[in-house]
Amino acid sequence: MPNSRRFRTEQFLNRELSLLAFNRRVLAQAADSRVPLLERLRFLCIVSSNLDEFFEIRVAGLKEQIKLGSHAAGADGVPPLEVFRRVTDEAHQAIAEQYALLNGEILPALEKEGIAFFRRSLWNDAQRAWIRDFFLKEVMPVLTPIGLDPSHPFPRVLNKSLNFAIELEGTDAFGRSSGAAIVQAPRALPRVIQLPKELCGVDYGFVFLSSVVHEYVGELFAGMNVLGCYQFRVTRNSDLFVDDEEVKNLRIALQGELPQRHFGDAVRLEVADNCSEVMTDFLLQQFGLARNDLYRVPGIVNLVRLMSVPDQVDRPDLMYPPFQPGMPKVLTKRYDIFASIRRQDILLHHPFQSFTPVIQLLQQAADDPQVVAIKMTVYRTGTDSVLMEHLLRAAEKGKEVTVVVELMARFEEEANLSIAARLEEVGAHVVYGVVGYKTHAKMLMVLRREDQGYRRYIHLGTGNYHPRTTRFYTDFGLLTANPEIGSDVNEVFKQLTGLGKASALKHLWQAPFSLHSKMLGAIRAETEAASAGKPARIIAKMNSLLEPEIIAALYEASAAGVTIDLIVRGVCSLRPGVKGLSENIHVRSVIGRFLEHHRIFYFHANGKQNIYLSSADWMERNFFRRIEISFPVLEPKLKRRVLKEGLKPYLADNSQAWEMNGNGEFRIKPTRRARICAQELLMADMGVGAISVA
């Protein structure tokens, strides 16, 4: 791993602040009146979900460093305590803006559209009677009030769960009078409850579970007086720790570690803004938190739960128009997937083109008697994945099925453990990659017996084998029978399942061995070309840009005259457009209907126009702590497609593209040109009804 200390700290932006800036761009989608109203609500929820993970992982890491007394700074040179201070200020401000947008714009706009959230103070008699009945029948039976006294200490509160702190007066049947109790809301209870239409006066009426509990919590404390009821939520450190040197069995170690995720150290406390100071101080004390870890919010403490609302109302006019992905021209008629791949390489561009060909490759492989083996990596795929069903069927039919399951895929560990167990039950070979290196590469190999011998059919992708996310994430996938690429993929699988030295690969760049040096080499080749007065160009699209040596190489390339365009969705530590440092580097971030996810790397290469697709961002973890691949697009026709679909529209976008300046600030520049939206252009060009491309 490179030593970032040999670079000047002022050349880098802070990772955590850059991540919060990304969430500000997502929040701007919720504020954009051009976005359909229910989609604005969804974006608001996405911000909350992102911030939850930010606190669980990034803030938790900062607090661990501070607790250990570490002064070790990142590439930007800012020590952990100062980063935490800046992050806390920025997070408080962003969350305040989020709730102001919810309460001031989105909820009133929804009410005008007949989608209302009824506050307790506005319930009429009929609504109140229905809600009380719902509480008594559906809610109260599953609530367990815990009075706080010497025999009932403060309970263990699950990560991100909804809880209520109750202030009481009076004594109970045993003469106890602690003055406080905790009520935990089971996750089985809906956080948003839909009322019968006849009671609402609008098409869709909802109440929050927090309002219902608040109104009737007294039913849980007979004969006592409830002085206050305050919802709260605690966010905990959710990063799992498995000692690479001590672990003997990764699966068993992980199974032992997972339950603790729900009870890690507290890092944030959210309370409703009506919470008394006495109760607030009490909760902070119980969780070992300081005042700057407190977030008072004017509304429910978990906006993620509002994500269910768009699915509960039938208002397509308030959502994005339906979109049906197209199919490549070579696959539009009844086809044999193996014959189609033998005929030519096939490029799939999701979500604009269907993921179905990948599913059909596995389906036909499972049923084809000529297929003898299937190998696949699994990072995120979902517990009910149709891909897994085809793998299971293939194993049941006696084919050699080998699956490399990444058990340490964050927040997918339980799902992947379940998948691994099911595969093992039917005789598949399940391996967990290499301890200490996450297997993040997206690879599928089918070995088929044919007239000339065995042939390998390969799928390589920039995104996960997850049929649901392929409808919302932009990714490229390549289907090929190229024997050299097939040989490379086979070598990588041999590394993952067996032992031995890493072999040189013909086409693939692989982390942790060659990917970093190859990327640096490609950047430096452009630098040399520019220095010699030749054309030089770099275009790169990714989720995150953090790795110091790559950034330094880009600065050198800029100084030599290389034109560099970077499309970075999320975190970017590079400072673009700085005089004397990066005048020739432009950075933009595209935020829209779909999550921009593909990684594309274009190098002019003296006119060869080398294009690589990858599962890897330009981050230290991807280069040095993960098993990743970057694969070339070899066919000229497909190269042109990647340029036409994956890069040029995003460079031309003036609707959803945020331009970044050297201080890390983003803005959408006003323009008088005709509106260009990359995602809309691709939907129009590639969806069903469009003239599909090969």
Positions annotated as catalytic residues are: 440
What whole-number distance in Å separates Cα of residue 105 and Cα of residue 111? Answer: 10
Q: Tokens 């697009």 sit at which residue?
A: 633
CA dihedral 509, 513, 516, 518 (to 10 degrees): -50
Residue 546 CA from chain centroid, whole number? 17
The CA-based diameter of the chain, rounded to the nearest angstrom, is 90
For 134-169, give one letter per residue: b (16+ CB within 10 A) or e: bbeeebbeebebebbeeeeeeeebbbbebbbbbbbe
Q: Which whole-number Å values give the CA distances from 96 to 54, 86, 89, 299, in the listed order?
A: 17, 16, 11, 11
List Cβ neighbours of 240 (8 Å cut-off, separation of 6 or more): 254, 257, 258, 261, 408, 410, 413
Give the DSSP H/E element, type plus range, for residue 259: none
Residue 538 main-chain phi, psi, to 5 deg: -130, 130
What whole-number distance in Å separates Cα of residue 331 and Cα of residue 352? Answer: 15
What whole-number distance in Å separates Cα of residue 114 and Cα of residue 503? Answer: 63
What whole-number distance in Å separates Cα of residue 638 and Cα of residue 353? Answer: 14
What whole-number distance in Å separates Cα of residue 195 and Cα of residue 407? Answer: 41
- Write the burial class of residue 71 (CB in 10 Å: 0-12 exposed, 13-18 middle, 19+ buried): exposed
Q: Is 242 helix (H, G, I), strand (E, B) or coil?
A: coil
Q: Tokens 């997972």 sit at which residue?
A: 258
Beta bridge partners of 236: 266
- Write the burial class of residue 315 (CB in 10 Å: 0-12 exposed, 13-18 middle, 19+ buried): middle
Residue 621 CA from chain centroid, whole number? 16
Q: Over the Cα atoms of the chain, what is R_g?
A: 27
| Strand residues in 451-550 grouped as ranges (E) | 453-461, 473-480, 509-511, 537-542
Give the DSSP H/E element, type plus range, for residue 243: none
What whole-number distance in Å separates Cα of residue 548 and Cα of residue 619? Answer: 8
List Cβ neighbours of 672 (8 Å cut-off, separation of 6 or more): none
